[in-house]
């Protein structure tokens, strides 16, 4: 069985490719390299450069590599950008998915794993978010992920495709420095950037109804997330009728202030944060219930916040050697 990993040259995708190949699965990467990096794809794994919007190219890749399963990560993922450019997000994340599904069904692919997001929940008013918590996305990005889940599920039912939608919580860390997240759009790299610039890390609001007043999130190591894909892909293969919707988190809330303290400890910078204004649209607390995947598939995250920050920092130094020279 060969798995097509769309977005396999991206930060999360490359980790999925690595975990799948380490587990003995055959993979092919399909990536337009708009944000992906070819060097992230391990030697021996074919890389097909193409857009998911290109029916012909997708169809050819599926046939040429005799693909029987798809793990679909290729997507736009910036919440703020999605507010400014909703059409771009609906085109890439919904139309791109539709094209890919149509080609997958025509190629008689049997399993389809879809990369969804905790953004589908919006501003959940619960201690732990279960997969039954109502989905009320607050951004076009979250909307496209929720619409994507609908598209995947409906196609799976109609065409007899085993499907899974994986709702990622806050992803951090790296399995190797060269695989680290090169973008600076989430909390951990944003703290690193400030420290490297000689500035205090920023807390966006410290007056939330949380224990220390700062927002609480559920951080998950990208290597754990990647291993979850292996477990899910195998579950779909062994049960062709399967339809899964799963949170991928750890079930542990960590505040922004705690994250900054931990980064200061790991990096040795020891620079106190500065409190800035709230960022519009940020929920106070989003923490997964990680029970369903544990019960249904026996999968649990193994790595903690220390592992995430330590490995992310090694990746940051790899990209920004000056950060280590203080």
Residues interacting with ligand WQD, by CB under 6 A? 77, 79, 117-119, 168, 170, 186-187, 190, 202-204, 215, 217, 256, 279, 282
Nearer to ligand WQD by Cβ, of 46 and 205: the residue is 205
Contact 171, 12 (CB under 8 A): yes
Is 11 annotated as catalytic?
Answer: no
Closer CB to ligand WQD, 175 or 187, in the complex: 187
CB 269 within 8 A of CB 199: no
CA distances from 305 to 216, 253, 293, 310 (A): 13, 11, 20, 8
Is the CB of 41 or the CB of 187 nearer to ligand WQD? 187
Q: Supply the minimum distance, in Å, between the C-beta of residue 300 and ligand WQD.
A: 21
Sheet holding 216-217, edge to edge: 254-255, 216-217, 285-286
* Residues contacting residue 198 through CB under 8 Å, at least 6 positions apart: none
> Min. distance of Cβ 237 from ligand WQD in angstroms?
26
C-beta of 162 vs 256, nearer to ligand WQD: 256
Q: Which of 11, 30, 121, 141 is catalytic?
A: 141
How many residues in total does the chain contain?
A: 326
Give me the least distance between CB of 117 and ligand WQD, in Å please.
4
Q: Are strands 254-255 and 216-217 parallel, antiparallel or unpaired?
A: antiparallel
Contact 65, 4 (CB under 8 A): yes
Judged by beta carbon, residue 12 or residue 233, the one nearer ligand WQD is 12
Least distance from C-beta 193 to ligand WQD, angstroms? 8
CA distance 47 to 165: 24
Structure tokens at 262: 């931990």
Could you tell me which of 8, 49, 11 has the C-alpha nearest to residue 25? 8
Question: Nearest approach, Cβ of 309 to ligand WQD (angstroms)?
Answer: 13
Q: Are 152 and 94 in contact (CB under 8 A)?
A: no
Torsion of CA 88, 92, 95, 101, to 10 degrees: -170
Is the Cβ of residue 156 or residue 253 nearer to ligand WQD in the bound state?
253
Minimum distance of ligand WQD from residue 265's CB (angstroms) = 17
Distance separating alpha carbons of residues 74 and 83, to the nearest angstrom? 19
Which residues are part of the catalytic machinery? 141
């Amino acid at each position: 069985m060969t798995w097509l990993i769309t977005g396999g040259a991206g930060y999360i995708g490359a980790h999925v490719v690595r975990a799948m190949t380490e587990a003995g699965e055959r993979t092919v990467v399909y990536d337009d390299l708009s944000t992906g990096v070819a060097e992230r794809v391990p030697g021996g794994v074919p890389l097909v450069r193409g857009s998911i919007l290109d029916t012909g190219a997708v169809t050819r890749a599926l046939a040429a590599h005799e693909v029987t399963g798809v793990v679909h990560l290729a997507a736009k993922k910036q919440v703020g950008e999605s507010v400014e450019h909703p059409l771009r997000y609906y085109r890439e994340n919904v139309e791109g998915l539709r094209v890919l599904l149509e080609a997958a069904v025509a190629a008689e692919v049997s399993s389809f794993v879809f990369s969804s997001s905790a953004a589908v929940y919006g501003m959940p008013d619960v201690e732990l978010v279960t997969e039954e918590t109502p989905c009320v996305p607050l951004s076009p990005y979250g909307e496209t992920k929720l619409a994507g889940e609908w598209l995947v599920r409906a196609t799976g039912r109609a065409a007899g495709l085993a499907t899974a939608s994986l709702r990622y919580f806050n992803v951090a860390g790296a399995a190797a420095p060269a695989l680290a997240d090169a973008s600076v759009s989430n909390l951990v790299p944003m703290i690193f950037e400030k420290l490297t610039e000689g500035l205090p890390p920023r807390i966006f609001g410290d007056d939330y109804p949380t224990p220390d007043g700062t927002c609480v999130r559920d951080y998950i190591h990208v290597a754990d997330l990647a291993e979850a894909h292996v477990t899910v892909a195998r579950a779909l293969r062994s049960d062709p009728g399967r339809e899964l919707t799963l949170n991928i988190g750890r079930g542990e809330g960590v505040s922004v202030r705690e994250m900054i303290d931990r980064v200061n400890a790991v990096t040795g910078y020891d620079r106190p944060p500065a409190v800035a204004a709230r960022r519009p649209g940020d929920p106070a607390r989003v923490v997964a219930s990680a029970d369903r995947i544990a019960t249904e598939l026996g999968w649990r995250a193994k790595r903690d916040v220390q592992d995430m920050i330590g490995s992310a920092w090694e990746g940051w130094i790899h990209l920004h050697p000056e950060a280590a020279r203080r």
